[in-house]
A and B are shown apart, each in its own frame.
Chain A
Amino acid sequence: MSIFSKLTWTELKLFGREPFSVIFTFAFPLVVLLVLIGSFEPDDTAFGGARPSDYYLASYIGVVIGAVGLIVLPVHIAMYRERGILRRFRASAVPAWAVIGAQMAVGLVTAVVGSLVLIVAGRLLYDAALPELPFRVLGAFLLGTLTFLSVGFLLAVLARNARAAQAIGMLLFFPMWLLSGAGPPPEVMGSGMRTVSDLLPLTYVVRAIQDPWLGERSEPGQIVLLLALLVISAVIGLRLYRTA
């Protein structure tokens, strides 16, 4: 087995043994999604014509991406750096691309599994709709995941230690979770909240997934914005990682 696949497989097993990661990736989005859908009548008009179950299912896939990228990944990588595990990999001549690649692969796989958990639960319990434009949803999902994984990587490189990474990650994650379209429905948000919402990158991930899910095309501006964030955080993160 190649170094990359061996590392990825080991990291996946470690992910499964870490309650912190499992809770944030699988349990937290699922519980909140089910509570939220259950709180609204199916014909509630606050969702721009969509059913609350369909609207929230699409947004909570964005929440999974946010949790993996902003909390799980940075805490894990910062902990590896803090405890000298990255140094040990370097001393064993493991190429940096394999170390980073394995973390990204684990992030992607767990985000996919976390999203599937939501879709299955949403379908079984609330008969939530499947995506109208599945390929566009898949594209937006991949772009959003890669963008937030590279933001998380940058955060891990910048944080002084795992606790700092966790604090910063939570500080970024919670407002994004509540204001990106996964919290109160847009119709009840005040103008101030909407302005803040427009400034949060997770909002664009949620919209890019939600629009094609509900049958509309995503706005190209959102895609360009996410791509720009992906490239910027990846370039800075990799540069800092090398010199660290």
Chain B
Amino acid sequence: MAAVIDVKHLHKRYGDLVAVTDVSFQVDQGEIFGILGPNGAGKTTTVECIQGLREPTGGEIRLFGIDAIRDRNQLRRRIGSQLQESALPDRIKVWEVLDLFSSFQSGGADWRRLMEQWGLAEKANASFASLSGGQRQRLFVALALVNNPDVVFLDELTQGLDPSARRVAWDLIRGIRDRGTTVVLVTHYMDEAEHLCDRLIVVNRGEVIAEGTPQELIARSTRGIQVRFSTTEPDLSSLSELADVRHVERVGSHVEVEGSGAVLALVAASLVNHGIVPSDLRAIQPSLEEIYLDLIQTGPDARKEVA
């Protein structure tokens, strides 16, 4: 089966300003796909081009195998959009918005059910202006789903939400995927990407600088994994000989082993073989955030700024 979204060499220029230099990626059916990157990296421009809200300067975009630039109108019904920085009239009521937007496409979802599902039923008669940040975001997601789309774009959905409201939003986003809708999530929160995304790309200065699952990105990192434990055993030379171990350091009874790949399993096995059984053995992986910052900083333009 063809990919849900297939972007090849997308290029977008506004006059002299190049927003997207060269972006290519594929999104598969039923996954949460993350597009990460710093502000101004070209994330929003990329998804707006895919949604047909902007005309790309160059490249090819296919959704469900259909040319998204030429046959845009065939795709409208299959796309749901939660737009960044897009509000609603202050005095419109929640039920009126859902009723209105559901009338735009025939064969859409039942808006009353969506209102229940997204916890907005008790706010049905509240005006948009009176909603909290979290309620607004839930309304926007409900609006993005009102035409029963096959793929939904969520752009900076959790921006400005407090931590608990963000957790609620994450559950809701997983709920969308679990119902079979492919989700494209634009974010600059790494914890969000790490928790939610099945796969992701990191975009910087209009180019894709990394692609994979969060675990793949972490595993590929040069930062390595730290294994920590404490022991009174004086001789730990056997650890230094293990394949994936780079460095062993000990301060008093605290031992820190730096390595990569399967380092934790190898260290654990070796310790047990030598009769050392520490109760506090643990591995500390770099977070996606650290890896992301490494990626962004080693980019060509970051070096230029330092020089």
Contacts and interface: CB of A to CB of B under 8 A. Distances in A.
A interface SS class:
helix
A1 B99 CA distance: 11
A85 B104 contact: no
Interface residues of A, number: 20
A14 interface: yes
B101 A83 contact: no
A88 interface: yes
Given A18-B91, A92-B147, A85 B86 contact: yes
Given A3-B104, A10-B96, A85-B86, A91 B91 contact: no
Interface string B72-101: 010011000101011111011000100111
B164 to A, nearest CB: 27
Contact of B73 (A18, A91, A93, A94): A93
Contacts, number: 55
B87 A83 contact: yes
A93 B103 CA distance: 11
Main SS at interface, chain B: loop
A6 interface: yes
Contacts of B143: 88, 92
A17 B91 contact: yes
A217 interface: no
A84 B105 CA distance: 20
Contacts of A68: none
A239 interface: no
A90 B53 contact: yes
Interface string B8-22: 000000000000000
Nearest to A94: B104
A196 B83 CA distance: 47
Given A90-B53, A92-B101, A14 B89 contact: yes
A84 B81 contact: no
Contacts of B46: none
A87 B53 contact: yes
A7 B73 contact: no
B100 A7 contact: yes
B100 A14 contact: no
B45 interface: no
Interface string A55-85: 0000000000000000000000000100111
Given A93-B73, A93-B77, A84 B85 contact: yes
Given A14-B91, A87-B53, A93-B76, 5 more contacts: A6-B103, A83-B86, A83-B87, A88-B83, A92-B104
Interface of A: 1, 3, 6-7, 10, 13-14, 17-18, 80, 83-85, 87-88, 90-94
30 contacts: A1-B103, A6-B100, A6-B103, A7-B100, A10-B92, A10-B96, A10-B100, A14-B89, A14-B91, A18-B91, A83-B86, A83-B87, A85-B86, A85-B87, A85-B88, A87-B53, A88-B83, A88-B88, A90-B53, A91-B81, A91-B83, A91-B86, A92-B76, A92-B81, A92-B101, A92-B104, A92-B105, A93-B77, A93-B104, A93-B105
